[in-house]
Structure 1
């Protein structure tokens, strides 16, 4: 395990919010060594979900130039898009039931923290799927355990750093963590 992974993990802030994650231990030889190899390893459903999200963003952009007339149309299209995203998220979340299904404690652009009842070893590589509820998005990547902390009562918190993740997906993790922080601040202000 490289101290470089710890530095990269620490370079991004973490936001405490639970999202479903699927973890599957893999050998180091199974981790894609290049971005192209990662892209080829991503299951078709995950690629489809990413393409749908990109299409949504690109389709709504021209409506902004139409001014107030298009705002209601844009809201309607966003609602329709959200429905599709939610369906895709559900389908993705149920794919490959052999993976361990957990909820993360926190996440950010450098990785995530997950509490499990049995520990993974520091240095263990994991095929990781992250399902961002509020973003209705799913991320397929590889992480490595860089720290394990025993919390008591057979609970171990694992710090997982990204070792292979698409640049767009890492950007999505950063954006999702910022949105989560905004939601948490608004919730705090309303109390």
Structure 2
């Protein structure tokens, strides 16, 4: 498991997660094996995100007259991202579907109708629709807390904390950027609400 699990902050956000139990007899995949596990759509989205980040960084270093070009390229990039996201959503998803409610560069939190055992490993697909981010990683359950229950346990629900046991560096970078974007949107919304109340 990653040792610096507390080095990134997490933000509240709703997203989709698909978990498949990892065979405890199988070793955790390395970076190359993890890349081979990615679907075609996921590979395409990852490659496009890496290319656009590199290009936009180079363009930002040019003078201010290139702002219109940068804005246009961002728009084109957004269009490509949305098309790729549509392709990803049409792919058959493997694993059990869960609702994520918090994420960051170190892990994620989900709601589950059943308890997941601490130390269990899962192959994990994360889809952040609003941020156009899709990640495949291996996660480990670090805690499971029961949050709702009644006499017959029909409404039992668990809050599960998962830490990344194996994730690509570029995917951590995507998740960190997405968490910063989410935080920025939350701050803007708070500021707007304060202004509306004045």
What TM-score results when the alignment is normalised by the length of structure 1? Answer: 0.86
Q: Give the number of the structure whose residues are more often helix, by fraction.
A: 1
Any gaps of 5 or more consecutive residues in structure 1? Answer: none
| Matches of 1:109 and 1:66, distance apart in 2 | 30
- Return the match for 1:123 from 109, 119, 122: 119
Conserved? CA contact 1:31–1:142, under 8 Å: no
Aligned to 1:36: 32
| Matches of 1:81 and 1:166, distance apart in 2 | 22
- Return the match for 1:161 from 155, 163, 169: 163
Conserved? CA contact 2:126–2:135, under 8 Å: yes
Give the 5 Å matches for 1:134-153: 134-152=130-148, 153=155
Is 1:19 aligned with 2:15? yes
Larger radius of gyration: 2
CA deviation vs aligned residue, 1:122-170 (integer Å, no higher than 9, x gap) = 2221111112233312111110111101111311111011011001111
Change (3 A) 1:124 1:141: same
Q: CA deviation at 1:85?
A: 0.6
| Matches of 2:27 and 2:73, distance apart in 1 | 38
Change (3 A) 1:164 1:189: same
Is 1:189 aligned with 2:185? no
Q: Decide which moves more: 122-131 or 7-16.
A: 7-16
| Matches of 1:60 and 1:174, distance apart in 2 | 17
Any gaps of 5 or more consecutive residues in structure 2? Answer: 149-154, 194-198
Aligned to 2:44: 48
Aligned to 1:71: 67
Aligned length in residues: 187
Q: CA deviation at 1:87?
A: 1.9
Aligned to 2:182: 180
What TM-score results when the alignment is normalised by the length of structure 2? Answer: 0.84
RMSD over aligned Cα atoms:
2.1
SS at match of 2:63: helix
Aligned to 2:151: none
